[in-house]
Amino acid sequence: MTLRNLSIKRKLMVITMATSSLALLVASAGFLLYDLTAFRARMSDDLVTQAEILGTSSIGPLAFQDERAVADILAALRAKDDTVAAAIYAPDGKLFAAYRRQDAAGYVLPPGPEADGVRVDHDEHLKVFQTIRLQGELLGTLHIASDMRQWHARLTRYTGIVAVLMLGAAFVAFVLSSRLQTVISEPILALERTMRSVSTQKNFAVRARKANDDEVGALIEGFNAMLAEIQQRDAALQGANEDLKTRTQELEQEVGERLRAQEELKVLNATLEQRVAERSAAAEQRSLELARSQEALENQTRILQSILDSMSDGVIVADEEGRFILVNPAAEDILRVRLADAPMGEWASRFGFFLPDMLTPYPTDAFPLVQAIRGQAVEAADVYVSHAGAPDGIWISLNATPLKDEAGVLHNGVAVFRDITVHKRAEEQLLKAKEAAEAANRAKSQFLANMSHELRTPLNAIIGYSEMLQEQAEELEQRESIGDLQKIHAAGKHLQSLIDDILDLSKIEAGKMELFVENFDVAGMIDDVVITIQPLVEKSGNTLRTRYSDALGVMRSDLTKVRQILFNLLSNACKFTRDAAVSLEASRQLDGGREWVQISVSDTGIGMSEEQVERLFQDFTQGDASTTRKYGGTGLGLAISRRFCEMMDGHISVQSALGKGSTFTLRIPATTEASAAGAAQSSRITAPARTLPSARPPVLVIDDDPLVHDLMSRVLAKEGFDAVCAGSGPEGLALARSLRPIAITLDVVMPGMDGWAVLTALKADPELAEIPVVIVTMTDDRHMGYALGAADYVSKPVDPARLAGVLRRHASARTAASVLIVDDDEATREATRRLLKRDGWNVDVAGNGRQALDRLRVSHPSVILLDLLMPEMDGFDFLGVVRGSDAWRRIPVVVVTARDLDEEDRARLNGSVTRVLRKSGCRRDELLQEVRQHVRGCVSQPAAAG
């Protein structure tokens, strides 16, 4: 027997028991599921927390590769009964240290680290993986595994509780449902008895008795109301039969009246036929008038077609569906194709319409004529056409306009176009000519740069030999020769200045000249230039008058280029003015919301005409030929000055009158916006310095990273040194001058003043030049990271005093004072050899890198003087071989070259350093070991020399 066939009493009992039991079961299951899920989440959180604590505790031992300390940290997990095992993997994936619970010997650790997170494996172990990092560097990966015993015990206990609750609830539900079901079943049974009485006796006056005001009571009320309604309708039905008879009689009377109305309708139809005949006659008259209008329209169309046929421009009219409804012959002649009706989607493929890139078919929705059909006008759109009729392709310029009727309703679109192929071809030729001109300009700049370099080689010999001969003439008191030698030396210096100007000009034209932006005091810069130019002012018998105040403030620009521009202006004023006054005025102005520094240089010299002023700033141009012959010069100074000024968003103007003098005005923004690629920013990052104990030798650490400060301080302290840290280049220079450390570690990549600028300043200061410098950089750039280890750098022409000082410094720790000169230019090689011989050195020479390697196999010099540009094996390759040899790598190498070194060359040479260490190129322990070794070497070498 199914539930449907049970009595209402039993149904109520079954439903009550089933509903209450099911509700209790769902609630218990939900509670059990929530509790187990929350408990498992707490277990995962606890495991992650343990992993974070262990990972933080393991950072230090991992950084120093202390396996025993890491194992002790993991062993602390024995206090956690549910922890099965733990392990730490090295960055290469190998197991570094591990821990297992005594009863978990069968647990197998993963072969390597996995992705960070918590997971449950097939053995129902809860596992967590977490990486350990220090400042973004991966030190290792921590793994912890925990069993699920507590979770299973909780599941068993709560399942038993739920079963007991279910049995008790079922018994209570049975007792209550058996007693309470009568409240619902008794009224329903009474209603059922009343219904049977009405059905059997057809007595609609019987009524059911209402016992309660619930839904069953409402049902009884509805049943009684239904009986009352049936009783009422039965009475009404009897009355309706009487009314039907009366209505039938009324209908018969109405039919007679409608027959009379039909007669009247026939008379009305006759009247309508007469009116239709009258209107037909009027329509025929209008048709005749329309025919005459159509003839006139055709005449106008023929006239319009004649006009279109005679036009040289192509004309196409299309309707709203994209069909061509009007095409003139010029359109087909220009497009070189027979036009026909075509849907919009086929225009580009059928007629070969392409975008200006000549590769992409013109999208139908973007085609100008389609836009005109949709109500948007298009002007001067260039379209490339290529198809079988025009295989070489043609260009058209197309204008499209929407066509609207008198009411403004859009109905068609018209396109007018013309052939512009000739103009396009001319543009292409002009573009090619422009590219050829730019290539020729680059070739010229490259030629000037190469030529300048080639000229420097013999020039260096001239300057060097003239200096040596001057010294010999002074020693031998040959005064008649000193003047001639001074002229030779001055001519060489003048030629060197000319070559430098040509090289600057070629770098500007080649786009390789960069701005190095920094903050500097304007008044201080002008004071330095005035002091430098003073001998030239006095040589011409002039006086220099200045007018500016200390309130000029700070300027953010390229100090070197501003100083060079100002020096050029003052030197020109002194050159073209004799026994007169030269004035300099400077001010700070606000113009257009931007601050400007304006400097004016005025003289009362020969002046210039308007024609001379117009060509004044052209390359290799002066006022005229007579000016060049009388006053000399190359005509490059002002040209380079203007280009420098334009690079800094400024400009130079001149006012001059022939015979009355000239005034040059320089205006440069107080703040120059330079590109990131070409500007060296001067923002400073400082770090506090520590007071030095007097018991330990100091080592200066220059680095912008505070973490490096802490790390280097610990390492150097273990070696018996005291580290003083500087967070920027200027601070490092100040500490170097005040503390005089025994060695300096220097980062290359720092904001504001980078390592190369600091290194240059150190070696330019006689009091700091002897301090050994170790480069420690975190850069992984391929240019700055490539280091061959040049020990020093000297520019040609060689300054004898500078060269002697460099050689003594690098050979001070050696017993033999020998030097190997490697240079392909015989004159330069011989001049340097004689210079060193006279200073007491044992000198050996080589013409290129291969010959120098042969000399090294025979002898071991104290110092190597190396030129960079040589045949067969140049200086860079030679350095690579020397630094790769255990026998030769410690020989100091001093680069002596006329080459204008770029950033890559400087990175390859590492000027004035023993070695460059890359922090990202080796492990932390290897890096620290290298630093310790080089600091020891820098300290022990002077001791050995003493």
Q: Which of 1-10, 485-494, 537-546, 925-934 has maximum average pLDDT?
A: 537-546
Average pLDDT over residues 756-771: 82
Residue 907 amino acid letter: A
What's the pLDDT score for residue 780? Answer: 35
What's the pLDDT score for residue 586? Answer: 93
Q: Which of 384-393, 488-497, 516-525 has maximum average pLDDT?
A: 516-525
Task: Dig out the tokens for 291 from the structure.
Answer: 């025919």
Percentage of the chain lying above the pLDDT 90 cut: 5
Does the pLDDT of residue 599 top 90, yes or no? yes
* Backbone phi and psi for residue 686, each to the nearest 5 degrees, phi listed first: -110, 155
Helix (H) or strand (E) holding 744: strand 743-746
pLDDT tens, residue by residue, 310-338: 888 888 888 877 778 888 888 888 888 77
* Backbone phi and psi for residue 83, each to the nearest 5 degrees, phi listed first: -80, 120
The radius of gyration computed from the CA coordinates of the chain, to the nearest angstrom, equals: 51
pLDDT grade for 601, boundaries at 50, 70 and 90: very high
Does the pLDDT of residue 802 top 60, yes or no? no
What's the pLDDT score for residue 777? Answer: 53
Look at 92 and 831; give whichever has higher pLDDT: 92
Does the pLDDT of residue 302 top 90, yes or no? no
- Asked whether the beta carbons of 906 and 745 are under 8 A apart, the reply is no
Look at 551 and 98; give whichever has higher pLDDT: 98
Task: Dig out the tokens for 609 from the structure.
Answer: 């005409």
Does the pLDDT of residue 745 top 50, yes or no? yes
* pTM of the predicted protein model: 0.34
Does the pLDDT of residue 766 top 80, yes or no? yes
Question: What one-character-per-residue DSSP string does 607-663 give?
Answer: ---HHHHHTTTSTT--S-HHHHHHH---S-HHHHHHHHHHHTT-EEEEEEETTTEEE
SS (H, E, C) 844-912: EEECCHHHHHHHHHHCCCCEEEECCCCCCCCHHHHHHHHHCCCCCCCCCEEEEECCCCCHHHHHHHCCC
Least confident of 216-230, 588-602, 719-733: 216-230
Helix (H) or strand (E) holding 177: helix 149-180
Percentage of the chain lying above the pLDDT 70 cut: 78
pLDDT grade for 890, boundaries at 50, 70 and 90: confident
Mean pLDDT value across the chain: 76
Number of helices (H), then strands (E), belonging to the chain: the values are: 26, 28
> Residues with Cβ < 8 Å from 586, sequence gap 6 or more?
522, 523, 526, 547, 548, 552, 597, 598, 599, 600
Cα 636 to Cα 617: distance, rounded to the nearest angstrom: 8
Buried b (16+ CB within 10 A) or exposed e, 369-404: bbbbbeeeebeebebbbbbeeeeeebbbbbbbbbee
What's the pLDDT score for residue 914? Answer: 41
740: left (phi over 0), alpha (psi -120 to 50) or beta: left
Task: Dig out the tokens for 540 from the structure.
Answer: 């011409």
Q: What angle do CA 230, 233, 239 make, to 5 degrees?
A: 155
Does the pLDDT of residue 944 top 70, yes or no? no
Does the pLDDT of residue 685 top 70, yes or no? no
Q: How is residue 408 annotated by DSSP?
A: -
Look at 712 and 62; give whichever has higher pLDDT: 62
Q: Is 3 helix (H, G, I), strand (E, B) or coil?
A: helix
pLDDT tens, residue by residue, 112-160: 888 888 888 766 788 899 898 888 888 899 989 888 877 888 888 888 8
Does the pLDDT of residue 485 top 70, yes or no? yes
Token look-up 């059905």 returns 199
Task: Dig out the tokens for 935 from the structure.
Answer: 């600091």
Angle between the N-to-C axes of helices 637-647 and 479-509, in degrees from 0 to 180, rounded to the nearest 10:
40
What length does the chain have? 946
What's the pLDDT score for residue 693? Answer: 42
Question: What one-character-per-residue DSSP string does 819-847 give?
Answer: EEEE-S-HHHHHHHHHHHHHTT-EEEEES
Average pLDDT over residues 609-637: 59
Cα 743 to Cα 738: distance, rounded to the nearest angstrom: 14
Cα 305 to Cα 298: distance, rounded to the nearest angstrom: 10
Look at 186 and 598; give whichever has higher pLDDT: 598
Average pLDDT over residues 693-699: 66
pLDDT tens, residue by residue, 834-871: 877 877 788 899 988 899 999 998 888 888 888 877 87
Cα 823 to Cα 830: distance, rounded to the nearest angstrom: 10
Token look-up 């319009």 returns 304
pLDDT grade for 602, boundaries at 50, 70 and 90: very high
pLDDT grade for 774, boundaries at 50, 70 and 90: confident
User: Residue 378 pairs with which residues in a beta bridge?
Assistant: 400
Does the pLDDT of residue 12 top 50, yes or no? yes
CA quadruple 729, 735, 740, 745: dihedral, nearest 10 = -40
Average pLDDT over residues 7-11: 72
- The residue among 466, 453, 471, 584 whose CA lies nearest residue 523 is 584
What's the pLDDT score for residue 558? Answer: 86
pLDDT grade for 801, boundaries at 50, 70 and 90: low
Please state the separation of Cα 196 from the chain's center in Å.
90
Q: Which class for 428: exposed (0-12), middle (13-18), buried (19 or more C-beta within 10 A)?
A: exposed
What's the pLDDT score for residue 917? Answer: 37
Cα 79 to Cα 353: distance, rounded to the nearest angstrom: 80
Helix (H) or strand (E) holding 586: strand 581-591
What's the pLDDT score for residue 714? Answer: 67
SS (H, E, C) 109-150: CCCCCCCCEEEECCCCCEEEEEEEEECCEEEEEEEEEECCHH
Least confident of 15-19, 411-415, 620-624, 686-690: 686-690
Q: Which of 342-356, 499-513, 804-818 has maximum average pLDDT?
A: 342-356
